[in-house]
Amino acid sequence: MQASRTMVCQTAVSQTVRSLRIRGMRHKATWSSSWTRSRLTSVQSYGGIGTEDSSFVVTTEQCRQHPGWRSYSSNRNQRRLHTSSVHSSSAAAMTTSPDTNVDNTSMNDDVRRIAEANMALLFREETPHWQEHTERRTKRNGIRALSAVDYELGDLPEWDDAEEEEEYVEGDQSDESSSEEVRPPVEAKSHSMADLLERFNPEVEMPPHSNLEDVQLWLECDSQRESVLKYERTIQDARQRKDFASMSSVQRQVLNWYETLKDRIETEQLNYLSADKKTRKDMHSYGPYLCALQSEKIAVICSHQAMLAILSSGSNRIPVVTIALKIGTAIEAEVNVQRLLRQRMDASQRPEKDPKDEDKKESVDEHTDSVDIESKTDHGLSELKDTPMGLSKRWSYGASHLQQFIDESSRNEVGNKKTRIRIDRANQRALRLLNSSEEWPKTHKIKLGCTLVKFLLDDAKVRGEGNKQEDAFVYEKERKGHNKFMGVVGLNDQLYKLIMEDDVDVFSSMATHNRPMVIPPRDWTDPNDGGYCAVKVELMRTNGCRSQREALQESNLDSVYDGLNVLGKVPWVINKEILRVAHDCWENNIPLGDIPTQTNYNVPDQPIRPERQTDLVLDDKESETYKASVMEYKAYRESTRKFLRMKQKNMDLNSLRCSTMLKLNQADLFQDFENIYFPYNLDFRGRAYPIPPHLSNVGSDLSRGVLKFSKKKPLGPRGLYWLKVHLANLAGADKMSFEKRAEFTEKHMDSVRAAVMDPLGEDRWWTTLDDPFQGLATCHEIVNAIDSGDPATYEGSLPVHMDGSCNGLQHYAALGRDTIGGKAVNLCKADGPQDVYIGVMHEVIRRVAEEAKRELDFDHSNIDDLNPSDLAALRKNRAAKLVHGLIDRGVVKRTVMTSVYGVTFIGARQQIQEKITEKLEEKGADVDELTDEIYSACSYLAKETMEVMGELFVGARQTMNWLASCARLISQQGQPVAWISPIGVPAVQPYRQSRQFTVVTLLQSVVLTDNSDDLPLHSQRQVTAFPPNYVHSLDSSHMLLTALEMDRRGLTFSAVHDSFWTHPADIDEMNKVLRETFIELYDQPLLENLKRTWELRYPSLEFPELPERGTLNLEDVRDAPYFFQ
């Protein structure tokens, strides 16, 4: 049987194998028996396994290592589907099941079946311009287009002479680098990555700004490394001077535990690599991760992440699992940075290989950052050799601490063979971890994080009152429900106070990853290739959704890449005038905008729970003792509610302070650069976001206020006019015509000049604006333009915004051609802007006033005697009376705005309650005593508001209901709802049911929630979330299409979802572009295409008919002046 199988296999090789390609790497086949013996390593059998008539697929060793091949060959008749039942027509969302009735087909048919099982063909059919995409990707990557599973077998004559073709790809094309970068990470630069890494020295401060490539690398790679060296230098300098008083108070406290924590971590690393088998077994799950970095780095990461997580949480007590996961994720990120840098350095320095050597097996650590150059000793252990790279590379990219531990252990146990074997296995586990780019398991990260939190709790000490040593971090157990407790960690009160009183720079080393860039981001060319030079980021924030990642890999994303590249290449600069004022407000405790007060609210003493009266007879409710007990408990409950409310207010202030300090720190760091950039990526719906988390144009008013375009441009004839309109918008005067908005600014010119001359003087009109820091920046630009003498030639750089008018409803109106809805949201020509919020507000006010004036026709003096219907009527009447006179546009705005995005009744009630509570507090009401009444009144108001919206926007409601009905049918098939946005983003809803499991850690047992693709769908969320998610994919398509067209016309463009930004001189041109792209978008039969796609995927389902379209003419949008305003 085996001989027959081998003969069939050799015959297959000699007759059918012409060439083999994996990821663009070509392995030419020869017809000699020596090739067959050396290259043939596996024969995969398909069809009737074990029978002589089976078909075979020949693979090489490298083919077998390909992820796509491994996943298929491990389960040949089903492509990794983890649901119990899979609809055979499922397309974009999930891979499909090939027919299990496999007949005796040829080798080409077998491979074709693998390709058909892949999602690529499904996406190619639905994605426009696939051929254009293939040609562009071929030209960009310098290779022919890849097949669905990236390898081809059979008669491929076009590959016979592949060696003679010219390649576009620069650098080495050997097997080792096939999955690495195929172009320099920094475009059009004079230095290679190897040159940059060679010069990089973590012991020096930031390189001079004349070498921006070096600066960018320093910003990405200094990470915890620069902080470690700073701590080491600070300790050394302080010891030499015998002067610790020169350090900040926070530095002194952190240094108080830094060395102890570092030694504790190093001891644990040694324990993992020691000869103690029991110790290693206990820590086998997190030991390799603990040994992935130097103890100095881990000590800094652990300290910084713990403090930052607590400070930014809004509470001084956060769950152990939260802080542990943050620490584990931060360590993983640092390891990824080092690995990527080392791989790129190796790739850039790797010499050309002889083709004869391509089959030689690489050492396990060739691409790791654990050892620079290694050889095997007599003991079978790795030894670090000296290299010419010096301290920089050794420190940054060679985790030689691992080798030192091994050497030390081998010296102590050199004669013990079993010990050497165990140590070598531990070493190999760590090396494999460092060599793998796969995401670390969540459970392992939490075990690692909990171990380090335990070290912090044990070893981190601060000096409290009387110079007494106190724990820097506090561990407590909080009750959560009946008989359930949750471990929480908090900061020592003294340490927290010192951090808040210290300089903003205390946060500088805590915000190290994903900063703004000082050179243009690398172009996106692949879902895993773009953005930063060294730090790896993904195109989409998939939250681990495997189906989404597979869909991205096989889709045409060229337009998406181009749009994100346009947004990322916009140069920005820090507005120093606004930054100076922001610092003045912060340092002088002037709360303004999103800069919070540094004074805490007065929190009453925590009330003491009254003792339970065990001798009370519950039936005797008329007894004085019983009544007194009830009153005492009610008073306790009200006091507790007030105590918790004021305590939460202070926690919220803490979070805001932390956020403010991070923003100011980032602005300080980049204020002297001529250009800074924000790389972008997407969420699963296709919405674009800047990657830097603390400072970007998508941030708060403070973040936007300290940013402006780097490129200056003359205002032209209408630029000053649009600046005046912009200032009026920021002042909230956006309910009038554009001309009246400009007049509004002109009437306040004295205050505008006062804001520029003395922003914190007597005239602080600008501080009353809705967005004060953006308003102050606009005041500066207007005054500078006027004072220049010729505003038309004044070169300004402040962006002006045009915002959609309740943009979600605009998209619904365009989808359904809803004339009434379209007029309400400014899709039609009008003399002035239509305010949909005002319309809803007026109707809600009318209903509330009518109910508040209504006289009840029954006796309600004794509530206990009322029947349910009368009791409901009484509550409704009292609710109307409580909120009557408090309703304005702001009360209903958020609910109206989020209604098209799927806001629930509970969400609407919470939004309204926030506003009503604020208004009652302004009137001096005791909101703690009125908590129940406020809750009831806001529930009533939310119900009325949602009813009014349903009546006003019938067309939008019909479209939302149709989308939800279709989503319900799909989710009932066990499939996630999936679609492709108009610009080509494949979207797969990730909502699945959660599963809880317990992980035992060194600190405590932790209950985790699993949301993997293996779990059943969360059907309700799949249905309720789809309408808003689909609309988000439409507004993101509109924004990216506008970005591409603006770039084609040579105009600067940025955006925050439905807020489009450009220079004042180009506002008129941008207004034309955004209208043209909107009409172009909705000229397509979007809903019809969506329905047709689903019918192809699910032929057994009967989807409801599309809602009847209205008569709205999309061409009216061209002349609608307030479509965006």
Residues 1096 and 1008 in one domain: yes
- Residue 394's pLDDT is 32
Measured at the CA of 182, the angle between CA 177 and CA 183, to 5 degrees, comes to 135
Which of the listed ranges 16-25, 174-183, 328-337, 611-620 does the model predict with the highest average pLDDT?
328-337
Instruction: Dump pLDDT digits (tens) for 922-957.
Output: 888 878 778 888 999 999 999 999 888 888 888 888
Query: Considering only 167-181, 281-295, 924-938, 1051-1065, which range has the smallest mean pLDDT?
Result: 167-181
Q: Given CA atoms 434, 440, 444, 450 in this order, what sign does their dihedral have?
A: positive
Res. 885: pLDDT tops 60:
yes
Instruction: Dump pLDDT digits (tens) for 385-434.
Output: 333 333 333 333 333 344 444 444 444 444 455 555 554 555 555 556 65
CB 1043 within 8 A of CB 1028: no
Question: In this structure, how many other beta carbons lie within 10 angstroms of the beta carbon of residue 998?
Answer: 8
Q: Can you give the CATH number for the domain in which 748 is found?
A: 1.10.287.280
Residues 899 and 1035 in one domain: no
The residues pairing with 382 across neighbouring beta strands, listed in sequence order, are: 376
What is the rounded average pLDDT of the residues 807-820?
Answer: 93
- Residue 512's pLDDT is 58
Instruction: Report the chain's mean pLDDT, rounded to a whole number.
Output: 73
Query: Considering only 474-483, 827-836, 974-983, which range has the smallest mean pLDDT?
Result: 474-483
What is the rounded average pLDDT of the residues 304-318?
Answer: 78
Tell me, yes or no, if the pTM score tops 0.85: no
Q: What are phi and psi of 295, to 5 degrees?
A: -60, -35
Residues 302 and 203 in one domain: yes
Residues 300 and 397 in one domain: yes
Report if residue 360 sits inside a domain.
no
CB 523 within 8 A of CB 561: yes
Instruction: Dump pLDDT digits (tens) for 241-281.
Output: 555 445 566 667 777 788 888 889 988 888 877 655 555 55
What is the rounded average pLDDT of the residues 57-66?
Answer: 37
Report if residue 470 sits inside a domain.
no
CB 959 within 8 A of CB 812: yes
Measured at the CA of 1025, the angle between CA 1021 and CA 1029, to 5 degrees, comes to 145
Report if residue 443 sits inside a domain.
yes
- Residue 633's pLDDT is 83
Rounded-to-integer distance, Cα 868 and Cα 655, Å: 44
Residues 738 and 596 in one domain: no
Residue that terminates a domain, selected from 111, 134, 169 = 169
Report if residue 397 sits inside a domain.
yes
- Residue 562's pLDDT is 95
- Residue 708's pLDDT is 97
Res. 177: pLDDT tops 70:
no
Residues 633 and 739 in one domain: no
Pairing relationship of beta strands 680-683 and 540-541 according to DSSP bridges? parallel
- Residue 727's pLDDT is 97
Q: Which of 468 and 963 is assigned the larger pLDDT? A: 963
- Residue 803's pLDDT is 94
DSSP H or E segment with residue 846: helix 836-853
Query: Considering only 120-124, 207-211, 590-594, 1076-1080, which range has the smallest mean pLDDT?
Result: 120-124
Rounded-to-integer distance, Cα 427 and Cα 408, Å: 13
Query: Considering only 345-359, 485-499, 852-866, which range has the smallest mean pLDDT?
Result: 345-359
Query: Can you read off the two tokens belonging to residue 1092?
Result: 């047709």
Rounded-to-integer distance, Cα 438 and Cα 652, Å: 36
Res. 238: pLDDT tops 80:
no
Banded model confidence at residue 435, pLDDT cuts 50, 70, 90: low
Rounded-to-integer distance, Cα 1107 and Cα 1092, Å: 15
Q: Given CA atoms 994, 998, 1001, 1003 in this order, what sign does their dihedral have?
A: positive
Rounded-to-integer distance, Cα 401 and Cα 385, Å: 13
Query: Can you read off the two tokens belonging to residue 459?
Result: 């070893």
Rounded-to-integer distance, Cα 43 and Cα 5, Å: 9
**Contacts of 224-228 spanning 24+ positions with Cβ under 8 A:** 224/297, 224/300, 224/301, 224/304, 224/334, 224/509, 224/512, 225/297, 225/395, 225/396, 226/202, 226/509, 226/512, 227/300, 227/304, 227/509, 227/512, 228/294, 228/296, 228/297, 228/299, 228/300
Q: Name 388's Cβ contacts closer than 8 Å, sequence gap at least 6.
A: none
- Residue 575's pLDDT is 97
| Percent of residues, the chain, with pLDDT higher than 90 | 33
Rounded-to-integer distance, Cα 711 and Cα 1063, Å: 9
What is the rounded average pLDDT of the residues 361-373?
Answer: 33
- Residue 681's pLDDT is 94
What residue type is assigned to position 714 of the chain?
P
Rounded-to-integer distance, Cα 1041 and Cα 1046, Å: 9
Residues 816 and 846 in one domain: no
**Among 396, 673, 662, which residue's Cα sits nearest to residue 519?**
673
The residues pairing with 58 across neighbouring beta strands, listed in sequence order, are: 43
Rounded-to-integer distance, Cα 476 and Cα 455, Å: 15
Residue owning tokens 């005002």: 838
What is the rounded average pLDDT of the residues 27-47?
Answer: 32
Report if residue 583 sits inside a domain.
no
- H helix and E strand count, the chain: 40, 27
Residues 970 and 912 in one domain: no
Rounded-to-integer distance, Cα 909 and Cα 936, Å: 9
Which of the listed ranges 258-272, 377-391, 602-616, 774-788 does the model predict with the highest average pLDDT?
774-788
Q: HSE of 838 in the Cβ direction (CA atoms, 13 Å)?
A: 9
Residues 928 and 1038 in one domain: no
Query: Considering only 430-434, 494-498, 1055-1059, which range has the smallest mean pLDDT?
Result: 430-434
Report if residue 498 sits inside a domain.
no
Q: Which of 497 and 769 is assigned the larger pLDDT? A: 769
CB 430 within 8 A of CB 292: yes
Residues 89 and 122 in one domain: yes
DSSP H or E segment with residue 319: strand 318-319
Q: HSE of 966 in the Cβ direction (CA atoms, 13 Å)?
A: 26
> CA dihedral defined by 927, 933, 939, 940, rounded to 10 degrees?
-120
Burial label for 170, CB within 10 Å (0-12, 13-18, 19+), is exposed
Look at the chain and report how many structural domains it folds into.
6
Res. 579: pLDDT tops 80:
yes
Pairing relationship of beta strands 485-491 and 318-319 according to DSSP bridges? antiparallel
Rounded-to-integer distance, Cα 468 and Cα 338, Å: 40
CB 581 within 8 A of CB 595: no
Report if residue 1023 sits inside a domain.
yes
- Residue 682's pLDDT is 94
Helix (H, G, I), strand (E, B) or coil at 930: coil
Give catalytic residue positions.
803, 893, 1058
Residues 165 and 49 in one domain: yes
Res. 211: pLDDT tops 50:
yes
Residues 970 and 1115 in one domain: yes
Measured CA to CA in angstroms, residue 16 lies from 29, 68, 136, 242, 585 at distances of 10, 22, 30, 79, 76
CB 662 within 8 A of CB 556: no
Instruction: Dump pLDDT digits (tens) for 957-991.
Output: 899 999 999 999 999 998 999 999 999 999 999 88
**Among 612, 603, 606, which residue's Cα sits nearest to residue 640?**
606
Res. 150: pLDDT tops 50:
no
DSSP H or E segment with residue 287: helix 287-290
Report if residue 654 sits inside a domain.
yes
> CA dihedral defined by 1038, 1039, 1043, 1049, rounded to 10 degrees?
50
**Among 225, 444, 473, which residue's Cα sits nearest to residue 324?**
444
Res. 156: pLDDT tops 70:
no
DSSP H or E segment with residue 722: helix 719-730
Q: Can you give the CATH number for the domain in which 1092 is found?
A: 3.30.70
Q: Which domain holds residue 25?
A: 2-169
Spacing of C-alpha 315 from chain mean position: 22
Rounded-to-integer distance, Cα 934 and Cα 879, Å: 8
Looking at 925-1018, list the stretches that DSSP marks H as alpha helix, in order from N- to C-terminal side.
931-952, 954-971
